[in-house]
Amino acid sequence: MEGKIIILEDNENLAKQYSLFLQNEGYDMHIANNSTAFFSLYRKIGPDLVILDIELKNSELNGLDVYEKLKESGDFHSKVIVITGNATRVQSVKAIQLGAYAFIDKQVNFDKHSFVLNVKQAINSKKQEDYNHALEIENKQLRKSSVPLIPFIGDSPAIKKVKEFIEKYGPTDLSVLIEGETGTGKEIVANHLFWKSKRTDKPFITINSSAIPESLIESELFGYKKGAFTEAGKDKTGYIEKAHNGTLFMDEISNLNYIAQAKILRTLEYGEIQVLGGDVKKTDTRFIFGTNKNLHELIDKDKFREDLYYRMEGNKIVLPPLRERDSDIILLMNFFFDKYKAKYNVSINAGLKNIKNKLLEYSWPGNIRELKNFCENLVITNNHITEKTITNAIINKVVSKQPKKADRNLQKLIEIDQFSTSVQAYEEQYIKYHLEQNKWKIKETAENIGLEKSTLYKKLKKYGIE
């Protein structure tokens, strides 16, 4: 197949016509008639190109709303062609600002050949970007010449339990699932599982699934043969095969699409991979998976395969967040200070135990990664670090997390004793807010908040808003 394409078009006849044009060119075509059907298709297919109409009947979102949602998702890598018959100038500009590859009028002088050419160019541009990204990933991986043992700091009860699991699972060939919030140290646990294994003389490869575009996942994991697609000028070995006889740590496993999840499951079950455009190969690769998401919730939302989860969950290690590791914060800070003070030529004279309670006032939502950056920043910005230096920095972090003005206003409203008074006070604040958002234009404000203009005037008079 030349590429995967989804057409979002509410006119079924037109959608089928476009699809037929492109099927004849060898593209894998899929059609959605509304935004709900589109998002379901998008998650399953991971298209190279999206062709969307702006105005959609019987759809929760219009085409531009869909485009914005895709951009906000953070893992959107498809090209987009906007095709419409009655777009306003504002809509046209917005489509271009969002990054549309092309904008085609489907009513005035529609040219089939020009349409197909735009699609080909968009697909080729996407594949070139994917190819360049794959080379960048491969080069980064090749630069990793050795696998040092990373220190695993901590003696809290929760961390002692994690270390017990490492001792238990490390020497085996079992696949392991590591769950934990971002910044808790999942890669460190994977590193120690590797060093406890019998595979330390073999490859240890780490990849972040969320850093690889969805359209590249399969080729990066399973490899491909020369000629499997346009840019496949030579054979490529996938990460799973590169880790043969060794260990592959796949962080953020929840970002894999359904197709990649199914292929991973098959590899776990049968010890084989299907090379794109090539043969089935046997592989002896040990998998370690990491996730910062609740996989049970993703299963309920049809975003993660239940059978793959149950294949992994038997050997699970749960990493606690830093806020649940009170006794480890001082150990970790001492470790980071020792690491940086010589590098930056800074003197440190601070009894961390004396300010332990102050350190625990902050919840450290970024976990160990945040604590590490906090310590390094202190060392960089101060020639001499004392207990007061650290305490002041902690106070600043706590203050920065205080509720914003809007949150404080809401809290004041909640604290009003009388329900009716609180409702009126909220209504006044609500109207003032939307007036400001609409530059004090009465008509636009009324339309946006769902009131008749006359009703809004009455409320302005009631609250003395001029």
**What pLDDT does residue 177 have?**
97
Rounded CA separation 386/351 (Å): 8
- Find the Cα–Cα–Cα–Cα dihedral 108, 109, 115, 121, rounded to 10°: -100
Contact 320, 163 (CB under 8 A): no
Q: How far apart are CA 63 and CA 34, in angstroms?
A: 9
pLDDT at 416: 54
pLDDT in tens, the chain (466 residues): 678 999 999 888 888 998 998 998 899 999 999 999 999 999 888 899 999 988 888 888 988 888 988 888 766 888 999 887 776 777 778 888 888 888 887 776 778 888 899 899 999 888 888 878 877 776 655 554 467 889 999 999 999 999 999 999 999 999 999 999 999 999 999 999 999 999 988 999 999 988 888 888 888 999 999 888 877 888 999 999 999 999 999 999 999 988 899 999 999 999 999 999 988 999 999 999 999 998 988 998 888 999 999 999 889 999 999 999 988 999 999 999 998 988 888 888 888 888 888 888 888 999 999 999 999 999 999 989 999 899 888 888 877 665 544 455 555 554 555 555 556 666 777 788 788 777 788 888 887 777 888 888 888 888 788 7
How far apart, in Å, are the Cα atoms of 464 and each of 160, 212, 326, 458, 459?
A: 63, 56, 53, 10, 8
Phi-psi region of 450 (alpha: psi -120 to 50; beta: other; left: phi over 0): left
CB-count burial class (<10 Å; 0-12, 13-18, 19+) for 369? middle
Whole-number pLDDT of residue 186: 96
Helix (H, G, I), strand (E, B) or coil at 270: helix
Longest dimension (CA), the chain: 79
| CATH number at 405-463 | 1.10.10.60
**Domain boundaries 323-400, CATH class:** mainly alpha
Give the number of other CB atoms < 10 A from CB of residue 279: 9
Per-residue pLDDT, 248: 97
Return the pLDDT at 412.
Answer: 54
Q: Are 50 and 62 in contact (CB under 8 A)?
A: no
CA distance 257 to 77: 13
- Spatial contact of 426 and 433, defined as CB atoms under 8 Å apart: no
The CATH number of the structural domain formed by 147-318 is 3.40.50.300
Burial class (CB in 10 A: 0-12, 13-18, 19+), 358: middle
Q: What is the pTM of this model?
A: 0.64
The token duo for 184 is: 């808790």
- Whether the domain at 323-400 and the domain at 405-463 fall into the same CATH topology: no
Q: Is 51 left (phi over 0), alpha (psi -120 to 50) or beta?
A: beta
Segment 113-141, tens digit of pLDDT: 888 998 999 998 888 888 788 777 766 55
Class assignment of domain 4-130? alpha beta
Domain boundaries, the chain: 4-130, 147-318, 323-400, 405-463
Query: CA-CA distances (angstroms) from residue 118 to 22, 50, 134, 423?
Result: 11, 12, 24, 55
Residue appearing with tokens 């440190």: 348
Model confidence pLDDT, tens digit, residues 148-195 = 889 999 999 999 999 999 999 999 999 999 999 999 999 999 999 999
CB atoms under 10 Å from CB of 153, counted, come to 17
Q: Using alpha carbons, list the distances in angstroms from residue 180 to 161, 184, 253, 254, 330.
A: 14, 6, 12, 13, 21
Q: Which of 299, 260, 225 is nearest to 46 (CA)?
A: 260
- Per-residue pLDDT, 195: 92
